[in-house]
Structures are given as C-alpha cells and as structure tokens.
Amino acid sequence: MHFFRKSIITFIVIALSLTACSKVSATQGATAQPEVIIPTLQTEAVLSTQPLPTEPASQPTSVTDNNSYLQCGPAGLVDVGYYFKDNNGDISPTQYGQLKPSDDNVSFWVKMITCLKHDEGWVSNPDEVVNGYENEIIFFDKNGKAHTYRIIIGGHYIEPYDPATKDIKASLNGVDYFFYNVQEWIDATRDHFLSNGNRQIGVDIYYDDNQGNLSKVLTQVYKFRETNLQILQALQTGEGYPDQVPDGFFLFANYSWLIQPD
C-alpha cells in the first residue's frame, strides 16, 4: 500500500513536470515569431527614407556658344548711348542706325555701329578697291549669333581720282573727320583696338543705288545687290543674315569712325 501511494505521487510529479515543459515550449514558440517580422519592418523603414524617383529636370536652352560678343574684344562694350538687346536680354554690339542717301540721291547707305574681327586690317586687293582698308565685320543677330563678312572701307572708289589724294575719310572720335592714307588708318585702328581691348566701329555701308555704274567699285558691289538688301533687312529685324554669300562678296563702306570709351 505504501508502495502504491508512492507510485501515484511520483506519477503526479512527472505529469506536472511535463505540463510545465509544454507551457514553456509554447511560450518560447510565441516569442520567436516576431524575429521573422522584424527584418520586414526594418526593410520598410529603409525604403521609406529613400526619395521617390522623379522625372529628369528639363535642361535650359543655352546660346552661350553662339553669344560671342567677346569677339569684339575682351574689354566689354563701349556705351554708345543707345542699345539693342537680344532675346536673352544681353546688350548687342550691332546697333542699327539710319538709312541715308548720297548728296545726289543716287546711292544709298546704312549708318550703323558694330565691331571688326581683327585688330589689324590690311590693304585691299586693287582689282576690287584701290588702297581700301580691309577687315572682317561682325553682325550679331537677335539670338546673339555672330555673322561675319568681308568689308572694305574707303580707298579710291570715285572715278576719276587723284592718286595723290589720301584714301580713307575717317574719324578717331566720331565727330572730326580727316583723310588718312590706308597705312595710317591701319595703324590708327590697330593701336586703338589694342589699347582699348574693343573693336567697335561705326561705318556707312553701301547697299543700293539707282544707277549701278557710279564707279568701278560700286559697279562691283552692285552685283551683290540682293545680298546687300538681305543684310540690310537683317540689320533692321535682327534675323535673316545670309550664311552663304556669292563668290567675291564684300561689303563696302565709304566712312568709318572709332568708338571712344568714356
């Protein structure tokens, strides 16, 4: 009897121990489940800190490569009292002035300010103009793009002419005009451009006449009448400068004057 009681007590102790172990195992199983969830929560947290993808911002259109006003010289533009602004709001070196007829109302000229490409000009080909000053002139359109053309200024262009007469009628200050031989004007313009760092110049450019045979020079230039008129219109509107010109094309100016800084 004593042994039977002892066996029952032993059985009860074992049963209670198994029940306790089962509860412990269940509790441990319940606490293990969040370990699977935690990495998912951490991944969501990381993604939420990353910026959402956006469309690439549109790049502004730039005309920096075309807007080449530094071709006029490194010192910047001289204040000429009136300005034309291009589409970017930048002051343009090309200043359209006025149309003017000759004293006899036969030939027609445009008075304007712009700049030359080279510090030092050269003597023109006498088959075109005898003892004219040659360089390249730059016109800037309303987008700041440069258009460069050959130009001859002065020289013996009215026939008959006196070979002893100086070739260039020009002004160092835009007010007082004098006659220079071509080498004197080459030297004067080069020294002015280099000392001021600016090649702005005023010119009276021929564009048309009602005879077409005033002289050897103007007869040659008259052959380019359509191109001259196209450039004249572009000066007035800021667009339409020809990219291609006829063989032998040159603009001709009878007067020129230098732009003096203040």
Per-residue confidence (pLDDT) for residue 59, from 0 to 100: 29
More confident residue, 135 or 211: 135
Write out the DSSP string of 215-247: SHHHHHHHTTHHHHHHHHHHHHHS----SS--T
| Statement to judge: residues 182 and 231 lie in one domain | yes
Tokens of 234: 């572009």
**Tell me, what's the pLDDT at 216?**
84
Q: Give the list of residues 6+ apart from residue 32 with CB closer than 8 angstroms, or none.
A: none
Residue 116 lies in a domain: yes
pLDDT value for 6:
47
Does 64 map to a domain? Answer: no
Considering the domain architecture, whether residues 200 and 136 belong to the same structural domain is answered as yes
pLDDT of residue 67: 55
Mean pLDDT of the region 28-53: 32
78 inside domain:
yes
Same domain, 102 and 144: yes
Half-sphere exposure of 255 (CA within 13 A, CB side): 18
For residue 199, being part of any structural domain is answered with yes
Does residue 139 share a domain with residue 223?
A: yes
Q: Is residue 57 part of a domain?
A: no
| Residues composing the chain | 262
Helix axes 34-48, 2-32, angle to 10 degrees: 10
Residues 115 and 37 both lie in one domain: no
pLDDT at 238 over 50: yes
Please check whether residue 61 lies inside any domain of the structure: no
Which pLDDT score is estimated for 157?
Answer: 79
Name the pTM for this structure: 0.73
Shared-domain flag, residues 112 and 194 = yes
Q: What is the pLDDT of residue 49?
A: 29
Instruction: Let me know whether 40 and 161 are in one domain.
Output: no
Whether 43 and 135 share a structural domain: no
Q: How far apart are CA 244 and CA 103, in angstroms?
A: 33
- Res. 40 pLDDT band, cuts 50 70 90: very low
Q: Torsion-angle region of residue 240: left (phi > 0), alpha (psi -120 to 50) or beta?
A: left
Q: What is the mean pLDDT of the chain?
A: 78
Do 143 and 188 belong together in one domain? Answer: yes
Q: Look at residue 51 in the predicted model and tell me its pLDDT.
A: 32
Same domain, 120 and 167: yes
Domain that holds residue 208: 69-258
Confirm whether 54 is domain-assigned: no
Of 45-49, 84-88, 209-213, the range with the highest mean pLDDT is 84-88
Residue 56 lies in a domain: no
Alpha-carbon distance of 173 to 156, in angstroms, equals 23
Q: Read off the pLDDT band of 261 (50, 70, 90).
A: confident
Number of structural domains (the chain) is 2
pLDDT above 80: residue 255: yes
Which tokens in the block code for residue 86? 């291009």
pLDDT category at 167 given cuts 50, 70, 90 is confident
What percentage of the chain reaches a pLDDT higher than 70? 74
Listed in sequence order, the residues at least 6 apart from 146 whose beta carbon sits closer than 8 Å to its beta carbon are: 66, 68, 71, 138, 139, 140
Please check whether residues 76 and 130 belong to one and the same domain.
Answer: yes
Let me know whether 191 and 141 are in one domain.
yes
